[in-house]
Amino acid sequence: MNQLPYHNDTMNREEAYPEVDRMEKSEKYAEYEKKHGAKTTRVYPFVWNYSKEAKGPFCKDIDGNIFLDFNSHVASSPLGYNHPKIKKALNKINISDPTKIAGQDFYATGDFPGPAELQEKILETTEKFGMNKVFLVNSGAEAVENAIKISYNHSGTRGICFNGSFHGRTLGALSLTTSKPKYRKTFPNIPGIKQTPFCTCGETHNGECECGAIKELEKTVEETEDLSYIITEPIQGEGGYRIPSKEFMKNLGELTKETNIKLISDEIQAGLGRTGKFWAIEHYEIEPDVITAAKGLRVGATISKEEIFPKEKARISSTWGGGDILSSFTSIKTLQVIEEEKLVENASEKGKYILKKLDKINHPDIQEVRGKGLMDAVEFKKKEKRDKFVEKSFKNGLIILGCGEKTARLLPPLDVTKREINIALEIIENTLNQI
């Protein structure tokens, strides 16, 4: 039987506890990486040791510290580390090199399911929207690039995005990204993109939109000729875990249907069950025309209806796009586990538990606690406090990251347990008392 190098899955999830007492090797490794690697987004030296034991949200770094990972690699390891079914499946396959092929130029199949089978599995989740075609890519940004390409191909030359949005860092996706000015500063934009306010009425707001976002959206749509699409995150991610009102989303759905503008739902962070529905747009009972997925899906994907995709050959393609055999296999297994273990339901239930507990924390630095399912956030009054909280949590053994201007986000694995949540809450309370 073939064994992949990641064989150490002996961490006992029921008993593990975060323990951090030294950082020398991690700090040294981070310095080494920096010598050759371009500056990106890292905020602290978490160096996962992939040869040591890890299970669920628990893992070890190269100093031997044990961490509780409530970030799940920004939602891209939705089952945490070494889920037993994923591990077993990986240990069983006898994979050949190349593991990545020119998947949109040639076909490949073997003793275990790959990209073509993954496409079929993905479409089971979008049947309700009448979507029957998927285009596999390498990343979230590429999923967005292709979503806008197929929308432009269908009609129009202009697009609308929302304030606070994040859709990726390639130039097309970046032109739709407004969450932080520094992301776009000095880089050129694709033409014809308009921005309009995202709803700030809040999730629980009932009745007419008070923040004016619906009116602004209607006005922008009316004033923009030749409009192709509106792209939205059903819940804004990098922009600060902002949840729009139901009324706003209902209007968005109706407006795009009436005007025949494509509605693109960017589910790259919120999809795959994280918010307590498989696709986050399902919270709003509206129908998107295109869905973009990546992160938790393990591959990138642009999903839509056959009539929206280009008919002409070679209008869209990518060498590795549909050719990552290992990631496709892991993706299928991930989707199976989410289904078999009812993890969408677990996300909903455990999310309510986290939010109820977080709500009870009475701390002068906290502005608001909000979230949906296992996409949860603590907003601070000041950025400096948020930054300190994130850094100190790491030193206390809890992996979390910031988002927006002054928010910290929690993204535990979809199968997170009450015990693990309680440990995270204990660290959060201790950390709040230290900052």
166 counts as binding ligand PLP under rule CB under 6 A: yes
Q: Token pair for residue 54?
A: 């890890």
Element holding 210 (H helix, E strand): none
Q: What SS3 class is residue 363? A: coil
Indicate the DSSP class of residue 423.
H
268 counts as binding ligand PLP under rule CB under 6 A: yes
Q: How many helices (H) and strands (E) are present in the chain, helices listed first? A: 13, 14
Number of amino acids touching ligand PLP (CB under 6 A): 15
Beta carbon nearer to ligand PLP, 49 or 236: 236
| Dist CA 349 CA 374 (whole Å) | 9
Beta carbon nearer to ligand PLP, 60 or 277: 277
Using the rule CB under 6 A, give the single segment among 17-25, 134-142, 220-228, 337-345 that binds ligand PLP.
Answer: 134-142
Residue whose beta carbon is closest to ligand PLP: 140
140 counts as binding ligand PLP under rule CB under 6 A: yes
| Dist CA 321 CA 159 (whole Å) | 25
Per-position x/- string for 49-88, each x denoting binding to ligand PLP as judged by CB under 6 A, each - no binding:
-------------------------x--------------
Q: CA 40, 45, 50, 56 torsion: positive or negative? A: negative
Please select the residue that binds ligand PLP; options are 61, 69, 216, 233, rule is CB under 6 A: 233
Q: Phi and psi dihedrals of 322, rounded to 5?
A: -105, 30
**Residue 314 backbone class (left: φ over 0; alpha: ψ -120 to 50; beta: rest):** left
204 C-beta neighbours (distance < 10 Å), count: 9
167 counts as binding ligand PLP under rule CB under 6 A: yes
| Dist CA 172 CA 193 (whole Å) | 10
Beta carbon nearer to ligand PLP, 139 or 396: 139
168 counts as binding ligand PLP under rule CB under 6 A: yes
Residue 42 C-beta: closest distance to ligand PLP, Å: 14
| Dist CA 72 CA 78 (whole Å) | 6
Residue 332 C-beta: closest distance to ligand PLP, Å: 19
269 counts as binding ligand PLP under rule CB under 6 A: yes
163 counts as binding ligand PLP under rule CB under 6 A: no
Per-position x/- string for 101-120, each x denoting binding to ligand PLP as judged by CB under 6 A, each - no binding:
--------------------
Residue 237 C-beta: closest distance to ligand PLP, Å: 4
In 3D space, the residue among 197, 144, 199 whose CA is nearest the CA of residue 175 turns out to be 144
Residue 39 C-beta: closest distance to ligand PLP, Å: 16
Separation in Å, CA 272 to CA 57, 247, 316, 397: 18, 24, 25, 27
Indicate the DSSP class of residue 283.
G
Residue 430 C-beta: closest distance to ligand PLP, Å: 29
Whether residue 300 contacts residue 293, with contact meaning beta carbons closer than 8 Å, is answered with yes
238 counts as binding ligand PLP under rule CB under 6 A: yes
Residue 364 C-beta: closest distance to ligand PLP, Å: 30
Please select the residue that binds ligand PLP; options are 216, 266, 282, 379, rule is CB under 6 A: 266
Beta carbon nearer to ligand PLP, 144 or 301: 144
Burial class (CB in 10 A: 0-12, 13-18, 19+), 270: buried
Beta carbon nearer to ligand PLP, 141 or 160: 141
Whether residue 66 contacts residue 58, with contact meaning beta carbons closer than 8 Å, is answered with yes
Residue 352 C-beta: closest distance to ligand PLP, Å: 23
Provide DSSP, 96-135. PSPSB--TTTS----SS--HHHHHHHHHHHHGGGT--EEE
Beta carbon nearer to ligand PLP, 65 or 125: 125
Please select the residue that binds ligand PLP; options are 141, 147, 214, 411, rule is CB under 6 A: 141
Beta carbon nearer to ligand PLP, 113 or 240: 240
237 counts as binding ligand PLP under rule CB under 6 A: yes
Give residues in contact with ligand PLP (CB under 6 A): 74, 139-141, 144, 166-168, 233, 237-238, 266, 268-269, 294
